[in-house]
């Protein structure tokens, strides 16, 4: 199982939001590259890098940060935020992303993203679903839709996608536990996908529960920065 610390970039700084609210930002470091370098030194192999500036814009705004992190660490980076065109997808991959997270466009223009999955491969294109309840939210979580998460996943599976990250916005940044039942329901219905859980993960024990139900990876952010999860103990528990 992949243990994936998250770095969210807003205004060039490493921040965390609460429930996707841009007004709730808390700055943890002025230099995301330094944070990524430290995570790599601690022994993490993966990084979830989110361009919050790009997420509410028409294109990524922090590709230079992605490139610096890729050059300065051994982290395998999945990158999202503002990837709304094939050009920005290519730029993200060229800047060092191992995978790109496609969120809003996978709702707005599903056929285009299905084409990207076929053209660039299911291992490079991760479908990112941010949910409120069981309906998707897009554009940096600022816009709600009526798209059901199960129907959404099923549609992309039928077209070759296999990597999904699902974030429960109500849980994100709250450090009060993740949506275990939601993830269990998804895996029960789609046992062959690679599902990454995101939002609210607050303890090593919870990570074990998520592993037991079959998630392929766990993204965690605030719990790490606030000291609820000890990096050394976490890595040891899953070594």
Catalytic residues: 8, 130
In order of 60, 117, 160, 225, the CA distances from 72 in angstroms are 20, 28, 33, 21
- State how far the Cα of 103 lies from the Cα of 4, in Å rounded to an integer: 18
- State how far the Cα of 104 lies from the Cα of 82, in Å rounded to an integer: 8
Helix (H) / strand (E) containing 208 = helix 204-213
Paired tokens of 45: 């192999």
Query: What is the 8-class DSSP label of residue 65?
Result: H
Q: Can you say whether residue 139 is alpha, beta or left, with left for phi > 0 and alpha for psi between -120 and 50 degrees?
A: left
**According to DSSP H, which parts of 73-121 are helical?**
86-94, 104-108, 110-120
């Amino acid at each position: 199982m992949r243990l994936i610390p998250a770095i969210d970039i807003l205004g060039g700084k490493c921040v965390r939001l609460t429930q996707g609210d841009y007004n709730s930002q808390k700055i943890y470091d002025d230099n995301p590259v330094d944070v990524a370098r430290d995570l790599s030194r601690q022994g993490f192999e993966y990084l979830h890098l989110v361009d919050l500036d790009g997420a509410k814009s028409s294109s990524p705004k922090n590709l230079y940060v992605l490139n610096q992190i890729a050059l300065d660490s051994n982290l395998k980076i999945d990158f999202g935020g503002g990837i709304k065109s094939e050009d920005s997808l290519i730029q993200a991959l060229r800047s060092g992303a191992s995978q790109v997270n496609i969120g809003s466009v996978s709702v707005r223009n599903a056929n285009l993203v299905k084409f990207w999955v076929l053209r660039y491969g299911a291992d490079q294109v991760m479908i990112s679903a941010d949910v409120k309840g069981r309906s998707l939210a897009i554009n940096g979580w600022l816009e709600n839709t009526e798209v059901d998460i199960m129907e959404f996943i099923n549609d992309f599976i039928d077209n070759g996608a296999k990597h999904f990250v699902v974030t429960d916005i109500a849980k994100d940044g709250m450090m009060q536990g993740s949506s275990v039942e939601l993830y269990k329901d998804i895996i029960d219905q789609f046992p062959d996908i690679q599902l990454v859980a995101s939002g609210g993960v607050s303890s090593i024990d919870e990570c074990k529960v998520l592993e037991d139900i079959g998630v392929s990876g766990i993204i965690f952010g605030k719990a790490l920065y606030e000291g609820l999860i000890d990096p050394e103990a976490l890595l040891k528990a899953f070594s």
